[in-house]
A and B are shown apart, each in its own frame.
Chain A
Amino acid sequence: MLRGLWSAASGMTAQKMTIDVIANNLANVNTVGFKRSRTDFQDLMYQTLSQAGSVTSAGNQIPTGIQIGMGTMPVGVQKIFMQGDFKETKNQLDLAIEGEGFFKVISNEEELYTRAGNFKLDTDGNIVTPNGDKLQPGMTIPSETVSIKIDKTGTVTAFDSSGAGTTIGVIELYNFPNPAGLFSMGHNLYRPTDASGEAVSGSPGSDGLGTIVQGFLEMSNVDVVEEMVSMIIAQRAYEINSKAIQTADNMMQLANNLKR
């Protein structure tokens, strides 16, 4: 059968995957702390029909040979950890990381990492994510607190009604040798893998870690225009590969019609 048929089919599958990824990026255009993904492709194996350097029956040496590729394949869907835009919320437990790093939370007794800083207080005074996962290192805000101040190095100070402040704790940030290797868990959470390496903790503003900005949220880093352009390209590439399939079909039809 025609090799080209399968090459074109692999091209269509690849473009379909690009559309899937773009659709997810666009769906998360307003998700706090969301990082967009992109697909990377590589060419599939090559079939060598005649080896370069071999000698033909006529005694000529073939200078370059014939190699026919077998299509394309997705090789990775990678998160792009570019800084997202900041949005001012004036909410005292909304924290944005300006620069690199992740917050650590405990979810189902597992240490996970997030960049979404839309924290809340639970009934016990713990700082938690909207899903109720506790921020690490854990700290309890006293019940008589009226306002919380978090400075850029992560020091949390609680003020009571008399205006006296007490330091409750320090928020630490974590970074990875290769953040692109983190496993996306959904719910804005990431799990470390062998590819990402071990989490390295540090105080905000040191060791290349970003600083914490109170009252702001880091929004999604999805750029709608860029995604739309990618979508146009993916759709047209899908179309062009479908045309190759149609052509293959017609060629086989022609060959079939040889015998009347």
Chain B
Amino acid sequence: MISGIYKLVDGSLVQKLRFDNISNNLANVSTTAFKRDIISFNQIPTMDYFSETDFQPGPITYTGNKLDLALVDHGFFKIRTPRGIRYTRDGSFALNAEGVLVTHRGDTVLGEQGPVRIEGSDISIKVDGEIVVDGQTAGKIAVVDFENRGALRKEGQSYFRYTGEGKGEAPAARVEIRQNYLERSNVNPTEEMIKMLEAYRAFESTQKAIQCIDEITRRLVNDAALLQ
């Protein structure tokens, strides 16, 4: 009798978790190169659920800033942070005082031969990531991809950390970098709103079912004795 309640409580907690996740997707609807998360279920009877990141590239938009880079295909920029190597698709880069290409947080963007130093004003970045400054090649931006993208964990600040075995990264199969463009969030607000409604109503139904069980239990406790 009572075990039914625990199943329902578990069910409502899952809906709450789904809602938390949708809410985060919606909060990041204008975050550069954000990748939405999905809560998925393995098997319904055991309620085994996990979160997955949808790595589908988002739409790209023109910004007119020559240090804004968008990756059209799958792949990640490689960033050196104080905590180790991280990966991101957020290509809104800048230069620091030494002329080194960095992220908004000041972490170094890695090229195929280490950090990229840009001296000069006429910066053009080719589709394959080659950086040409005043007619001279200054390096090539590293774009890597992973066989097992599921081993990438989100860390905030648009960074991903690889948690799988080995090095994991390999040069991306197809590199297409667009200069002056940024990748937008791949969150679809309509879809998230529908999922939010669904999670909300499912939450509501579990609450109703809990009330039902409560009512039945009340009857059993209070009225069963009267029947005898």
Contact = CB atoms under 8 A, between A and B. Distances in A.
Contact of A194 (B23, B97, B155): B97
The secondary-structure label for the interface of chain B is mixed
Interface residues of A, number: 73
A7 B12 CA distance: 19
A177 B31 contact: no
B224 interface: no
Given A64-B51, A178-B96, A178-B97, A52 B163 contact: yes
Contacts, number: 209
Interface in A37-91: 38, 40-46, 48-50, 52-53, 58, 60, 62-72, 75-76, 78, 80, 82
Contact of A11 (B27, B37, B120, B203): B27
Interface in B16-36: 16-17, 19-32, 34
Given A7-B23, A248-B19, A258 B210 contact: yes
Contact of B200 (A175, A194, A251): A251
A187 interface: no
B132 interface: no
A177 B104 contact: no
B82 interface: no
B6 interface: no
A209 B90 CA distance: 29
Interface string A176-211: 011011000000000000111110000000011100
Interface of A: 2-5, 7-8, 10-11, 14-15, 18, 38, 40-46, 48-50, 52-53, 58, 60, 62-72, 75-76, 78, 80, 82, 100, 175, 177-178, 180-181, 194-198, 207-209, 233-234, 236-237, 240-241, 243-244, 247-248, 250-251, 254-255, 257-258, 260
12 contacts: A10-B27, A11-B28, A14-B30, A41-B32, A63-B150, A66-B39, A70-B156, A72-B27, A76-B104, A178-B97, A195-B97, A247-B19
Interface of B: 12, 16-17, 19-32, 34, 37, 39, 46, 48-52, 63-65, 67, 90, 92, 94-99, 104-105, 118-122, 134, 150-151, 153-158, 163, 189, 192-193, 196, 200, 203-204, 207, 210-211, 214
